[in-house]
Amino acid sequence: MSNSNFKDIRSIVRSSLNKSVASLLIKVMAAGLTYIMFVALSRAMSETNYGQFAFGFSLATILAIAASMGQQIAILRFWPEENGKNDINKAKRSLQSGWAIVILASIAVSISLIIVALIGGAIGDGITSFIYIIAAATLIMPLAMVEYGGSALRAQESIWVALTPRDVLWRASVPTTVWVLFFYGIELTGTQALLLSSFILSLVMAIQFIIAHKVGFYNKISFSFLKSYWSERGKISLWFFISTAIDTAALNVDIILVGLFISVESAGLYFNAFKTAGLMTLFMWAITLVIAPIVAKHYHAGEMKKAQAVTSFCAWAGFAFSVGIFIIFIFFGDLLLSLFGDSYANGKTILLLLSAGLLIDAATGPTRIVMMMTGLEKAYVAIFGTTMMLSFIVMLFIIPIYGVLGAAIVNMLARIVAQTAIAFWTKKKIGISTTLWGFWTLPKGLKDKN
């Protein structure tokens, strides 16, 4: 590798590191506040009400991703790609049209869920038993819009404005409000907790719009170019949508299945274990937020060495962090889970199983985002989606027999198989190794396309 190339790569990695540190700071705050949010709700609610909240929250999260229609990934690729071609007007039209799609899809998905809840109430035990599902429907649009809004700002290399409103303001406001109400003797139901979360998130989203405008980031909504945008970008957007839906399903479907086949109380236990295990991916996620547009920029410019350098940095930094958190779980996992309540402390085995799968996930690096940014979205859907779908089918038979333990084992094995397969495919097709091994390819380097 020439001295010039080495200096360029070092500069890119240093820039990525600086932005990643800022992203990590926000994500660390977000992780702590998220934990506090769920602990506050768990402590201030009965197990049944908290289980309803966990079920409704997971359901709303899945449907919000569906309502995003893949636009939160599309803008991360299209904005830097079109700006790289000096077509800023096309980039702006893509951003505006993305907003239009998210808004229209959110309305449709929310109304559909409400109709399902009403039908369920009519043929079941009455609407009161499904009222928390209707409350979950109100959370879909705010979740979808704040997800896309954050991605639109990240595509413009914003970190603080993109992440702080949702990751800090929202997650701090919800537990604070819950405990103030609890202090005055008001114990929230699952329905009320979901409605409160929806209301506060809507306010936070409005704040983000105002701040973005004041700072000078482009974040406008328009329906004018929707038809032409969908005609040109609709097909690839659908692949982004499917891939994102699969990712969200992988994080939430087993929680819902546990709630359906066992009880909402068990769903609450599994939910807490999964959210705690998710702390392992904190740094990897923080770095991925930064490198997505960077990888897209360098790959489409044919600068393969730079794309590999950024990817390798992400893999090693994320894995080192994950190992540290996993060790903490081994020794203090039961203590962490007991923060949610004494009855949740016995979920340590579930926590460790889920964490083992995420540890392998970290070792394979940022494979998903690299595939999304380099045109391998179809392969991602085929490989990861098929593996996850098979795991869900297996869970239908395993959960009724082995309960939450069975769900955790299937989740762990499926994640290991899926992540290994997509990492291998990425290396084979584009030459970039997203795994820890990718670092060792840097000295001899890849051949740039230009």
pLDDT tens digit sequence for 123-165: 867 677 789 999 999 999 999 999 999 999 988 878 788 888 8
Cα distances (Å, whole numbers) of residue 171 to 23, 92, 181, 353: 16, 30, 16, 27
CA distance 140 to 132: 13
Residue 182: is it exposed, middle or buried by C-beta count within 10 angstroms (0-12/13-18/19+)?
A: middle
Query: Residue 408 above 90 pLDDT?
Result: yes
Residue 176 pLDDT greater than 90, yes or no: no
Would you say how long the chain is, in residues? Answer: 450
DSSP conformation class of 128: G
Q: Lowest mean pLDDT: which of 78-87, 112-121, 268-277, 415-424?
A: 78-87
What pLDDT, on the 0 to 100 scale, is given for residue 319?
92
What does the mean pLDDT of the chain come to?
85
Q: Dig out the tokens for 152 from the structure.
A: 């639109």
| Distance from C-alpha of 5 to C-alpha of 303, rounded to nearest angstrom | 10
pLDDT at 27 > cutoff 70: no
CB 212 within 8 A of CB 153: yes
More confident residue, 22 or 424: 424
Could you give phi then psi for residue 62, rounded to 5 degrees? Answer: -65, -50
pLDDT range class, residue 1, cuts 50, 70, 90: very low
Is the confidence at residue 441, as pLDDT, over 90?
A: no
Q: What are 371-407's pLDDT values in tens digits?
A: 988 889 899 999 999 999 999 999 999 999 999 999 9
- pLDDT at 13 exceeding the cut of 80: no
pTM metric for this prediction = 0.69
Q: What is the dihedral of CA 432, 245, 139, 226, to 10 degrees?
A: 80
CA–CA–CA angle 92, 96, 102 (5° rounding): 145
CA-to-CA dists, residue 414 to 3, 357, 443, angstroms: 43, 8, 34
Structural tokens at position 21? 């540190």
Token pair recorded at residue 264: 């909402």
pLDDT reported for residue 202: 95
The predicted-structure confidence for 287-303, as pLDDT tens digits, reads as follows: 776 777 778 777 877 88
Q: Contact 446/305 with Cβ under 8 angstroms?
A: yes
Q: Are 363 and 435 in contact (CB under 8 A)?
A: yes
Instruction: Check whether 260 has a pLDDT greater than 70.
Output: yes
Query: Given this model, what pLDDT does residue 291 score?
Result: 76
User: Are 159 and 21 in contact, with CB atoms under 8 Å apart?
Assistant: no
Alpha-carbon gap, residue 39 to 166, rounded angstroms: 18
Cα radius of gyration (the chain): 22
Q: What is the pLDDT of residue 114?
A: 94
Tens of pLDDT, residue by residue over 186-214, are 888 889 999 999 999 999 999 999 999 88
- Taking the chain, what is the end-to-end CA distance rounded to the nearest angstrom? 16
Structure tokens at 23: 């992203």
DSSP 189: P
Domain ranges of the chain: 3-441
